[in-house]
Amino acid sequence: MDDRLKMIFARRSVRDYTGEAVAEGDLRSLLEAAMAAPSANNRQPWRFVVVRERALLDRLAAEHPYGKMIAKAPLALAVCGDLAVSDWWVQDCAAATENLLVAAAGIGLGAVWIGCHGRPEREETARRCLGIPKSIGVLCLIAVGHPAERIAPRTQYDPAKLHAERW
């Protein structure tokens, strides 16, 4: 494993947190990393809802079928895209999400991507809980916190998934 890429390999889906608050500076770093993502025509359609309020975190955890870990997290983010800004909002917001997840690992936080886009009932859960308007797409929720345990970095390289020159 190449040490120059250790932040990428350290990015793991973390679902258990200590409960310790995420520092404001760390949150800013995560959002700066997210907004450094590539964006089609540099339209930057991403929008973020920062959720720290315990009642909202608990509601998201209860209502999203795969969001139970949000109940243990001190912070969640909804990654959204302004539909009027770009037709490529899904790709742009996915790149922003990955940057945020890698940045979290790099600063010692744990995070997990919780899908919403493509499942209308999951998008509606986020809309209902967080007051997100219909003009904004909801890509995902991200639970963020200090990991309750350290998960070892890894690669999932699989040469069977490669094709040289042509399929």
The domains of the chain are located at 3-161
Average pLDDT of the residues in 108-131: 97
Report H helices in 47-165. Answer: 54-63, 89-106, 120-130
Per residue in 49-97, pLDDT (tens digit) is: 999 999 999 999 999 999 999 999 999 999 999 999 999 999 999 999 9
Would you say 137 and 122 are in contact if contact means Cβ atoms under 8 Å apart?
no
Tokens of 5: 């890429």
Average pLDDT of the residues in 91-110: 97
Would you say 132 and 138 are in contact if contact means Cβ atoms under 8 Å apart?
yes
Per residue in 1-48, pLDDT (tens digit) is: 788 889 899 999 999 999 899 999 999 999 999 999 999 999 999 999
The CATH class for the domain spanning 3-161 reads: alpha beta
- pTM given for the model: 0.95
What gap in Å lies between CA 85 and CA 36, rounded to an integer?
17
Q: Which residue has the tokens 């999951």?
A: 122
CB neighbour class for 14 (10 Å; exposed up to 12, middle 13-18, buried from 19): buried
